[in-house]
Amino acid sequence: MTTGGGEFDLIARHFAPLAGPQGLNLLDDAALLSPQPGYDLVFTADALIGGVHFRPHDPPDFIARKALRVNLSDLAAKGADPVGYLLTIAWPIGTTSQTIEQFVQGLAHDQAEFGIRLFGGDTTVGPGPLTISLTAIGQVPAGTMIRRSGARPGDLIFVSGTIGDGALGLDHPEITALNQRYLLPEPRLTLGQSLRGQATSSIDISDGLIADAAHIAKASGVCLELDLDRVPLSPEVRELISADPSVFARALTGGDDYEILFTAPAANRNLLAGRASEIGCVTPGQGVVLSRKGLKGDPAKFGLGDLGYRHRFGEGSA
């Protein structure tokens, strides 16, 4: 933590207790990590901006936990065990001490839940919305990180959990089960770690099922054929689709799922039963092909040509 002015007090009081020995209790310029021999390190960084990635009035502890969890979700998809994280925060002018306390309590809760510590970072007050940038560090036994690029024709396609709950929780905050999924994604760390050596490729679904399938297809140089009739849906999402069939498209492209989409050889089908839903197969070619109720074609044929967007509101283009 390199800091200035009134930040010193803030850090000492709130953030230093979150730091472990590697973070040198935030009393140094930098954190120190002696890597475990035989392990590779895995790094990922994502920023969350108020009004873009979360609702400005979401509870501060949930915002903090979401910032951590969306990054842990990337580690999960790579099969990594989380080790620690660095955090920079720009607080809006006028942020109260109570808000900061709640934010820190959220981090403390999830640090305990996921067995990680704060390594370092920076807090400042700025003129914009609350902006949180988080770098997560994980580790995998050397050579076992699951990439996006390993899918091969003949592999099966699997997805964990249920799809669409996060995006529909944003649309329907009155439906508690869905709103909870939007506020507090569940990084699939145990599943991800169990996929080392079993999955050929993997990604966490942040941009939407179809878009993230396209990312695997592109990185692997293959075609992902998804059977939309087999996409796992929660009872709440099924009910919304019954009332308005167009909601199905939103579920497939809305993002914010933080489930794991992965491919694995057909020989591993029995091993994976009960851990994820089988939703398709990998074929030669390029891109994504969808099938539903006997129809088959590219996403545009199903009105899904706009392949997902992660940020529901406030996002422009640069």
Binding to its own copies, residues 89-108 (CB under 8 A) = 89-91, 93-95, 97, 100
Q: Is 127 exposed, middle or buried (0-12, 13-18, 19+ CB in 10 A)?
A: exposed
The conformation of residue 316, written as its DSSP 8-state character, comes to: -
Asked if 290 interacts with its own copies (CB under 8 A), we say no
> Contacts with its own copies in 36-75 (CB under 8 A)?
37, 39-47, 49, 51-53, 70, 74-75
Asked if 171 interacts with its own copies (CB under 8 A), we say no
Question: Considering the complex, what minimum distance in angstroms separates the CB of residue 50 from its own copies?
Answer: 8
Q: Which is nearer to its own copies, 161 or 254 (CB)?
A: 254
Residue of 86, 189, 191, 209 interacting with its own copies (CB under 8 A): 86
Q: Could you tell me if residue 68 is left (phi over 0), alpha (psi between -120 and 50 degrees) or otherwise beta?
A: alpha
How far is CA 85 from its chain centroid?
A: 15
Q: Which is nearer to its own copies, 49 or 290 (CB)?
A: 49
Question: Considering the complex, what minimum distance in angstroms separates the CB of residue 74 from its own copies?
Answer: 4
* Three-state secondary-structure class, residue 89: strand
> CB–CB of 39/141 below 8 Å?
yes
> CB–CB of 10/125 below 8 Å?
no
Q: Which is nearer to its own copies, 236 or 256 (CB)?
A: 256
> What is the rounded CA–CA span in Å between residue 261 and residue 209?
8
Q: Binding residues for its own copies, how many (CB under 8 A)?
A: 86
The answer for residues whose C-beta is within 8 angstroms of residue 277's C-beta and 6 or more apart is 158, 159, 160, 230, 231, 232
Question: Considering the complex, what minimum distance in angstroms separates the CB of residue 40 from its own copies?
Answer: 5
> Contacts with its own copies in 139-158 (CB under 8 A)?
142, 145, 147-149
Asked if 34 interacts with its own copies (CB under 8 A), we say yes
Q: Which is nearer to its own copies, 108 or 125 (CB)?
A: 125
Residue of 18, 137, 163, 282 interacting with its own copies (CB under 8 A): 137
The answer for residues whose C-beta is within 8 angstroms of residue 310's C-beta and 6 or more apart is 206, 207, 208, 255, 256
**Residue in 284, 280, 281 with CA at minimum distance from that of residue 220:** 284
Asked if 193 interacts with its own copies (CB under 8 A), we say no
Please report the sign of the dihedral spanned by the C-alpha atoms of residue 50, residue 54, residue 58, residue 62: negative
Token pair listed for 266: 């057909």
Asked if 314 interacts with its own copies (CB under 8 A), we say yes
Asked if 236 interacts with its own copies (CB under 8 A), we say no
Residue of 188, 197, 291, 315 interacting with its own copies (CB under 8 A): 315
Asked if 317 interacts with its own copies (CB under 8 A), we say yes
Q: Which amino acid belongs to residue 80?
A: A
Asked if 190 interacts with its own copies (CB under 8 A), we say no
Question: Considering the complex, what minimum distance in angstroms separates the CB of residue 201 from its own copies?
Answer: 10
Residue of 126, 153, 173, 297 interacting with its own copies (CB under 8 A): 126
